[in-house]
Structure 1
């Protein structure tokens, strides 16, 4: 989730279970290695290409926390633009605050020219903007972005932002937590200081952040952490988040996950969950079925189609669900609200459910101490223990019994039990594709393409077409042609979209341009599916040589194709059969060319069994040879020479 320009690179920091998104200018941590880099606006473009866009030169955060969880924060940050891209990154900064319980007590900002001349940001350059992700929902309008627009920023300029913020009331009484991770730019110096009552211990999980010795005086203890880092290697295509293996810091006054779960459980207690309106709705939805799983599925489907999801991370606002009756009346809510109403509806028909707290995103671990944060706990789903099912009604596009990839294979905190568990690492995912190409005497081709998804991929595909207009569906089909690298026309039809589970199929028909040229030689791709098939999967996994952990989602793919060539075409080369197997992959391809009819038949099968969703660089090295062999086959070609052509013509 983003908060617009600049905030897309923000870090979610939570104070007193407070979520506050901090950009580099607002105190996020990034480091610098070359002091001379970017200090002059005359740096040539070749040199700029080697520079990080900006550097965090200095960042000091001081949090003064009281026993009740109220906090005063002081944040003093200086960033330097090293390149033109860096100018865009730092010229506008944001301070996030909850207007109901927080006050910005002081803010000053200035641009410092390369020669040291300072230009203060005037009142016209500071304005408040409604948190855009609230999507106009009145019960989520407490989030505000104080926007600071710096004047005259150029390459070599520095922006200096200093603000103070007071939180008068903790999101959860008596608690404090804070999460921070690097955003990818160099950090010359950062210090994070936490000042707490001496009787309130601070628990920390620091990786890359150096802990200084705590200092106790006058009944209070100061904990400090320092951070420096040079340029970071770029995140590889398909890699999971840096925080999985890189630096990050979580501090919390909550000692363990059991205590964290207990606090959430107590705060989430809701007397309205047994309201007659909720019971009546649940009983109506499940009136004609006795199977508990089918009852749960119907309630799940009603939730995802009728309760709009407001995409705010858990912990950015109060970590307490709204009343179930209010969620039902308003027909919207964030993740914790979805869980609250879904659980209440299930309870009304005798099905147990409990909240589950986890991270939504490319993060497969949690810090050792509990707390909210962008890459810590930030999302809630439901666990139905009697059915053995995790359910995320806020995901919208997934059938009951399946999870979106963003919450699979993740550590989760079961709120009722107060213990850590893990969501499923794999789920059924199958795709079958059949392609027919009939090349005409013109060299263009008529085609018919059928693809059927089963398992986890079926409902997202069905949901895309369910929500599309007729024109939108045709545009989806045309886009798939373009992504396949071919030009032509497309008419699309689908199996019924009213269903909410089971297989889903899409049929595309139309023409493709210039499949075979009428003179000379043509290399025709031996295609067995359009985008999304085996070739797409292999290309994504082989996007680059991997040195970082990466996302690997397996499945089963079966593809067949028939390519009929015109009378003028003479086939000179046909791909050979291929078989590849290793610990993770099984792949076969089979080609049959019938000369009298000039028809090539293709069959391909791929089974990818990773057993988890985050593969290591070592696992990539093990499977790379197999992937390359498969890639070569999926990009194989049929070589065709037009009748009467001579070699070299």
Structure 2
């Protein structure tokens, strides 16, 4: 399940009086738009169904805001809910009103469910506003009626800020008095609940004039910033039980499914072998349709239907994989999780932050996510790493692995010709989760796409040339990947003058690419993603007789709590050969680092950054065309 991170929580604002009230509020024109007022009112019934009245006012501050505001989207499951637009119009800067016409409101199928009949009930109502320009205000009021609750008898709602200046934002929840609402309100002000006539009204308010820029690689804002989660679930155990009950599949022991599972694992000796075989079959044969848990029903389709259709969303993958594991007596259970870059759960349970489900294998003490078709068994995609899970069978909180080992070794050999051109051989060996991801990409590449990949590798190293690519067996489902590039480089160095040769030890990825990521921010104030990696890079440059080395880079060694790095540079004047090595290892406790971690590691990262920019200085003499011609056969 891939996170739909910026959930379009309609930017709803008060229509009455908001125009005059906002006129006196200073507007920061750097922000694309301002949420000048919003009220969301949920009226919840005892069975968990509800109505949501949404009213909003957005002010467009600049051209960028036009793109963000001119179309609004409201998602709904047409079999469970209806959406009715009550009022939608634009007021231009000169005060003229332009109403949205009926033909400017359309229901469209959500792109991720396109051509997947089981999911064609997931719809988006698209409202296209006219006359949107800087200084204009967009007004929208709509009513969403959730006729069928996502979980019978329960209600939950998750509200992340939209990271735009927000004022007069109110969330009101009106529930039966005997159905208490639990809340995790971070940055939201909770008013005292009011009970009257058998119902209780809960209200939360939010105002924020400014949001800091999201730093490169930072985790989702709601992991550390403001958010509101409300729910009628009393605990995560109750939340897990509701999913467990809804996911029960009476047809899980289908004869065709059972026969297939046993046939596939006929030669497997251990439970791990069986789990791997079935995982590889599901991830490579069942297409993933990325519909988030909670965006509609949370009941998986039957395992037999998923097997017949060969596609499904995350809960369907877990249902099919689980049924096949059951058929060969490998214990398993669903694990609810937040997929993407949200690494924390609120203190109250509900859908919104939790949007994905994977498989827990208790006897193997490992997780598997068969929706990740490019991840080998034993690893998880990075979007599943280092985050809490809700184990559906036991109803307890657990956690996915904090980090995964990755190793990368490269060997680059360059032979420079007297005219400054060169031939090269580049070998790379990847081990860990990235290996299968690269294999999966190579499996599906056309010849033209592979050629473009080769050229991209050369461009990343500021090189021009041609090359051919060979790889280890791409039919493999696990283990290291080895690839070899062989080719020629155009004008690697200009002859007849003093020039520099980049101290390359890798054509793509590796130390240079990681350092570029680390140094993408001079200072960090937000938690950020940091993967562990062990890299060994070696390069050999063979110079012709008309080249003379004037200067070599100095070796570097840097070490701190998080990073070990060492480089060496040698020149053999007898053979006219330069040898360079770079070795680096990171030691992060998890896939998420803190701003304080960055402060501690920054001196070492900057030292590595200087090293990867190193150059070898050479002087060469021109090769006379006449002498070259005289050497021709």
- Please give the TM-score of this superposition, normalised by the length of structure 2: 0.95
User: In the alignment, what sits opposite 2:616?
Assistant: 638
Indicate the RMSD between aligned Cα atoms, in angstroms. 1.8
Residue 37 of structure 1 corresponds to 27
Distance 1:467 1:23, change over 3 A: farther
* 1:507 match: 484
Aligned partners of 1:105 and 1:491: how far apart in 2? 58
Query: Equivalents in 2 of 1:414, 1:82: separation in Å?
Result: 46
Q: How many residues align?
A: 615
The DSSP-based 3-state class of the residue aligned with 1:290 is coil
In 2, distance between residues paired with 1:331 and 1:26?
44
Distance 1:644 1:482 in 2: 27
Instruction: Pick which of 228-237 and 99-108 moved more.
Output: 99-108
User: What is residue 17 of structure 2 aligned with on the other side?
Assistant: none
Q: Quick one: distance in 1 between partners of 2:402 and 2:26?
A: 47
Counterparts of 1:162 and 1:105, CA distance in 2: 9
**How far is the alpha carbon of 1:516 from its aligned partner?**
1.0
Does structure 2 retain, via aligned residues, the 8 Å contact 1:22–1:96? no
Counterparts of 1:382 and 1:484, CA distance in 2: 40
Secondary structure in 1 matching 2:251: helix
Equivalent in the alignment of 1:217: 196
Gaps spanning 5+ residues in structure 1: where?
Answer: 12-20, 39-47
Q: What is the alpha-carbon distance in structure 2 between the residues aligned to residue 393 and residue 310 of structure 1?
A: 12
For residues 346 and 583 of structure 1, the distance between their equivalents in structure 2, rounded to whole angstroms, comes to 42
Unmatched tracts of structure 2, length 5 or more: 15-21, 624-633
**1:306 & 1:243 partners in 2: Cα distance?**
35
Given the alignment, which residue of 567, 574, 580 partners 1:602? 580
Q: d(CA) in 1 for partners of 2:515 and 2:130?
A: 47
Deviations 1:434-466 (A, max 9, x none): 001111122121111110111222111111111
Question: Cα offset for 1:473?
Answer: 2.1
For residues 396-415 of structure 1, the aligned pairs below 5 Å read: 396-415=373-392
Q: Is the 8 A contact 1:550 1:614 kept in 2?
A: yes
Number of the residue aligned with 2:143? 164
Q: In structure 2, what is the Cα distance between the partners aligned to 1:634 and 1:576?
A: 11
Cα distance in 2 for partners of 1:562, 1:105 equals: 68
Q: Tell me by how many angstroms 1:521 deviates.
A: 2.3
Higher mean alpha-carbon deviation, 117-126 vs 251-260, is at: 117-126
* Structure 1 pair 34–288 and aligned structure 2 pair: CA distance change class (3 A): farther
Q: Does the 8 A contact of 1:178 with 1:372 survive in 2? A: yes
Q: Normalising by structure 1, what TM-score?
A: 0.92
CA contact (8 A) 1:25 1:90 kept: no
Residue in structure 1 matching 2:9, options 2, 17, 22? 22
Q: Offset of 1:34 from its aligned partner?
A: 8.7
Q: Deviations over 1:61-96 (max 9, x none)?
A: 000000101101100011011010101110111111
d(CA) in 1 for partners of 2:108, 2:2: 14
Cα deviations by residue, 1:132-179 (Å, 9 ceiling, x for unpaired): 110310010111111111111110001001001111110110110000
1:542-575, CA deviations, whole angstroms, 9 ceiling, x for partnerless residues? Answer: 2112121110001111110001123222211101
In structure 1, distance between residues paired with 2:136 and 2:461: 44
Matches of 2:182 and 2:53, distance apart in 1: 21
Which of the residues 532, 535, 546 maps onto 1:557?
535
List per-residue Cα deviations over 1:585-614 (Å, max 9, x = no partner): 111111110112221101111111102011
Whether contact under 8 Å (1:26, 1:93) holds in the other structure is no
Instruction: After TM superposition, list the pairs within 5 Å mapping 1:568-587 onto structure 2.
Output: 568-587=546-565
